[in-house]
Amino acid sequence: MSELRTVTLGMLGCGTVGQNVLHLLQRREAIFADLGVRLEVAGVLVRDLTRPRDVPEGISLTNDPRFLNRCGLVIEVMGGVDRPLELLLPILQSDRPVVTANKALLAERWDVLREHALDGRLYYESAVMAGTPIIGPMSTVLRASGFVGLQAVLNGTCSYILSQMEQGKPYQAALSEAQALGYAEDPPTLDVGGFDTAHKLAVLARFCADGHFPYSAVSVTGIEQVTLEDIAQARAEGQKIRLVATLERQGDTWKARVAPTRLPLDHPICTVGDGRNAMVYEGEECGTLVFAGGGAGGMVTASAIVGDIMDSVLGFPGHVPLH
């Protein structure tokens, strides 16, 4: 057997997603060996070294990012915008690949990241719809078809709250329940205010509408003002309310909108089930495509991240937006 090439990894963050990435990398060791690679984790950056974590034996946790200098590939699963950017820029600027699940970073700092994405150094399948592959097809095969528009539900927390309201729970009670179950952050503004969905829509728009699409161009209305009366009225007309991301042509430009939207009960977004994300993608030649699957969760997200790492070690470029 020929000798394996060692790829030295570094990871930023070791929370819900990061811990699962480490376990999945270990579980897929044989596949990486088939690809001719042995992975070595040089370090994992965290804030609180005393926090108990479920990580494979031998993983070195640290709050000192200097280990990044030794890494050939960096995985970012810490969240936030400014700090991850500060840590990742030297990696990207020295031509090293980065795998990230961070849609807020991608949406809000595209001015800096775009050139690296165009050069194929940035992998981010997990940033939208987590383990459900949508960025891969949108950055490759779907380019052959003229883009007409898309509609998607991209935030499971909002779907959960709205489905609880359909059972008669007022908004505040449904939100508190989502928080108690760990579905919604505290404060929950990113989710219920629609901003998480808007981050994801901005990321998608750069593959099919405009490679420069700015996050600030997404119009955002959250679900905070949806009432039980709205839900009852929709139901009386055979509809459900969901937080829907829409991208469609308006004259010569593209309009991106996130807003509570009524959908017929037999709409593909409604029929996939509330625990799932879903997207209806319309292309001139490919027709109507429906993508659906888990849009959150540690291992679901880790599956896309580890897939990105496989692509990178195989020499496939990252996710290249429109020029």
Ligand X SMILES: NC(=O)c1ccc[n+]([C@@H]2O[C@H](COP(=O)([O-])OP(=O)(O)OC[C@H]3O[C@@H](n4cnc5c(N)ncnc54)[C@H](OP(=O)(O)O)[C@@H]3O)[C@@H](O)[C@H]2O)c1
Q: Annotated active-site positions, please? A: 200
**Among residues 126, 132, 277, 312, the one that binds ligand X under rule CB under 6 A:** 126
Most distant pair of Cα atoms in the chain: their distance:
67
The amino acid sitting at 41 is V
Interface residues for ligand X in 1-40 (CB under 6 A)? Answer: 13-18
**Least separation, in Å, of the C-beta of 295 and ligand X?**
7
Quickly count: other Cβ atoms within 10 Å of residue 120's Cβ. Answer: 16
126 or 312: whose CB is closer to ligand X? 126
Asked whether the beta carbons of 82 and 285 are under 8 A apart, the reply is no
263 or 303: whose CB is closer to ligand X? 303
Tokens at 230, concatenated:
């709205």
**Among residues 79, 194, 222, 321, the one that binds ligand X under rule CB under 6 A:** 79
**Among residues 139, 261, 301, 312, the one that binds ligand X under rule CB under 6 A:** 301
> How many residues touch ligand X (CB under 6 A)?
24
Query: Which residue has its beta carbon closest to ligand X?
Result: 15
**Among residues 150, 263, 280, 296, the one that binds ligand X under rule CB under 6 A:** 296
Stretch that binds ligand X, among 43-51, 161-169, 239-247, 315-323 (CB under 6 A): 43-51
22 or 272: whose CB is closer to ligand X? 22
**Among residues 297, 310, 317, 322, the one that binds ligand X under rule CB under 6 A:** 297
Between helices 156-166 and 228-236, what is the axis angle to 10°? Answer: 80
The amino acid sitting at 192 is V
Closest CA to 245 of 230, 257, 233: 257
122 binds ligand X (CB under 6 A): no
**Among residues 39, 71, 77, 306, the one that binds ligand X under rule CB under 6 A:** 77
**Least separation, in Å, of the C-beta of 300 and ligand X?**
7
Interface residues for ligand X in 44-73 (CB under 6 A)? Answer: 45-48, 51
Interface residues for ligand X in 97-116 (CB under 6 A)? Answer: 101-103
277 binds ligand X (CB under 6 A): no
Chain residues binding ligand X by CB under 6 A are: 13-18, 45-48, 51, 77-80, 83, 101-103, 126, 130, 296-297, 301
